[in-house]
Amino acid sequence: MKILVVGGGGREHALCWKLAQSSRVTKLYCAPGNAGIALTRGEKCGAVECIDITSENLDSLARFVRRERIDLTVIGPEAPLVLGVADRWEAEGWNCFGPSQRCAELEGSKTFTKTLLRKHGIPSAEFQAFTDSDKALKYCQDHGGPLVVKADGLAAGKGVIMAKDGAEAAAAVKQMMVEKAFGEAGAKVIVEETLKGEEASVLCLTDGQTIALLPSAQDHKRIGDGDTGPNTGGMGAYSPAPCVTPEVEDRIVREILVPTLHAMNREERPYKGVLYAGLMLTDAGPKVLEYNCRFGDPECQCILPRLKGDLVDIIEKIQQGKLEENGVEISSDPAVCVVMAAGGYPGAYKKGAAISGLDASGQVGLPDVTVFHAGTAKAAEGRVATAGGRVLGVTATAATLQMAVERAYQGVAKISFDGAQYRKDIAHRALKRQG
Ligand code: AMP
Ligand code: GLY
């Protein structure tokens, strides 16, 4: 089987790493991939071949799939899904792992999602949607705070502003709707109540009828230790998240995931693929903060190492509508991913710094430690250099969370590059909870 993975970050490295373990895969391509992906090998498929096509260039991807007779395309990021890659592949009779464009609206339009959740009584923050900036500004000014202002469309994780009062919320609305800081993504906005609680991500696989729950995870969005400083794409993650107890997990399935899939079916949007629920565990129970139509990054780097079995088999079952409940087996060993980022990130940062400490396979040579590359590129003399904001995700699994944390940081300690920054407290909340 020939597989193409679309994307080039840590999540896609984890996907390639997992797919390369399948005895069914004879050839693995990644578009555009990165230096670490190109160093990933499977016994049967050999080295992953990176091809120079960006993930949003559907025309070039389609030409490649036709020419190479790709059997399955696995989509990492949201943008190609929101652009309709799955629908286009289906029309061609090609296999694509990822939801349709109408389903990807769960991530692509916050107005769509919030309206769906409200209509079907699925717990989420109270909100108002606006297409008129004057009305949005008035609403914020008339309201005390705190409020959360969200751009409707995709804004690379930057379209959410937490405002402490109405004036700050109005400023955010102005930035989005009048100054168009996020372009068309901010033409509509949502203003919602601020929820309090602990955040967790719960992802599931679904064929539209059946849910196979993946292990819970927690992301670290802020750049600094103790959750300080600006938001990032995610500075680390761990799985499982102890705040998602079996009881909480059961509520998430019953009150959120199942009703959402039923709602999507009723709207004639049968969902197939990965559904990612970003949740706030409030005193009143779990509530949806956001949906994503794909694996999270870096949550994926903690979830896939815990997933047992052949990912190709699992994907096939989803596509055939034959997914079984509890149909995936999860290792009981926790996983921890520590992201190493370029100096300056999430603001302006330099690229091209040589990375030392990686061996010829882009790894650190420690047992149960996998370095998932995100922003890396090949440099002279077989070396690897930085090529993005988030550079590496050093991931470890072990019998306990504490040991996985220690092991991940042992991996981090072996790696250096000019300006490298990483959080020292990944999984701190879970460790504190465990005492
Ligand atoms: P989103 O992309 O909608 O998940 O928002 C990004 C982040 O903003 C979330 O991970 C939360 O930390 C925060 N956030 C979003 N909506 C709310 C809300 N209603 N209440 C509190 N925090 C929120
Ligand atoms: N880690 C959050 C996301 O992938 O959206």
Ligand 1 centroid to residue 179 C-alpha, Å: 22
Angle between helices 311-320 and 10-19 (to 10 degrees): 100
Rounded mean pLDDT, 368-391? 95
Cis peptide before 123 (omega within 30 of 0): no
Measured from CB, residues less than 6 Å from any atom of ligand 2 are 219, 234, 292, 296-297, 299
Domain boundaries, the chain: 2-101, 126-193, 198-330, 335-433
Residues making up the chain, counted from first to last: 435
Residue 408 pLDDT:
98
Rounded mean pLDDT, 402-428? 97
Residue of minimum CA distance from atom 14 in ligand 1: 289
Ligand 2 pocket test: pick from 276, 279, 289 the residue with the most ligand atoms within 8 Å of its Cβ. 276
CATH code for the domain defined by 126-193:
3.30.1490.20
Ligand 2 pocket test: pick from 297, 304, 423 the residue with the most ligand atoms within 8 Å of its Cβ. 297
Residue of minimum CA distance from atom 3 in ligand 2: 296
Nearest to 331 by CA among 18, 33, 75: 18
Residue of minimum CA distance from atom 5 in ligand 1: 160
Ligand 1 pocket test: pick from 113, 114, 160, 176 the residue with the most ligand atoms within 8 Å of its Cβ. 160
Residue of minimum CA distance from atom 5 in ligand 2: 296
pLDDT for residue 430 is more than 90 = no
The answer to whether 18 and 306 are in contact (CB under 8 A) is no
- The CATH superfamily holding the domain 198-330 is ATP-grasp fold, B domain (3.30.470.20)
Return the CATH architecture of domain 335-433.
Alpha-Beta Complex (3.90)
Distances (CA, A) of 99 to 19, 275, 276: 19, 9, 12
How many Å apart are CA 202 and CA 85, to the nearest integer? 24
CB atoms within 10 A of CB 66: 11
Ligand 2 centroid to residue 344 C-alpha, Å: 20
Nearest to 434 by CA among 220, 255, 242, 150: 242
pLDDT for residue 156 is more than 80 = no
How many Å apart are CA 46 and CA 2, to the nearest integer? 12
Q: Which atom of ligand 2 is nearest to the CA of 237?
A: 1
Could you tell me the maximum CA-CA distance found in the chain, to the nearest angstrom? 63
84: left (phi over 0), alpha (psi -120 to 50) or beta: left
Residue 416 pLDDT:
98
State residue 432 phi and psi, 5-degree precision.
-65, -45
Percent of the chain whose predicted confidence (pLDDT) is above 90: 84
Residue of minimum CA distance from atom 8 in ligand 1: 160
Ligand 1 centroid to residue 429 C-alpha, Å: 18
- Contact residues for 103 (Cβ-Cβ < 8 A; gap 6+): 264, 269, 270, 271, 272, 273, 293
Residue 39 pLDDT:
97
Rounded mean pLDDT, 403-410? 98
List the helix and strand counts (H, then E) for the chain. 15, 25
How many Å apart are CA 312 and CA 42, to the nearest integer? 14
Q: Which amino acid would we find at residue 156?
A: A
How many Å apart are CA 195 and CA 198, to the nearest integer? 10
DSSP, res 381: G
pLDDT for residue 434 is more than 90 = no
Higher per-residue confidence, 258 vs 429: 258
pLDDT for residue 158 is more than 80 = no
Distances (CA, A) of 267 to 261, 262, 294, 376: 10, 9, 20, 41
Task: Give pLDDT tens digits for 196-211.
Answer: 999 999 999 999 999 9
2-101 carries CATH number 3.90.1300.10: no
Q: Which atom of ligand 2 is nearest to the CA of 292?
A: 5
The most confident of 72-76, 150-154, 171-175, by mean pLDDT: 72-76
State residue 352 phi and psi, 5-degree precision.
90, 5
Residue 435 pLDDT:
65
Distances (CA, A) of 190 to 104, 125, 169, 174, 193: 18, 11, 11, 13, 10
Q: Output the six-digit token pair for 307.
A: 């997933």
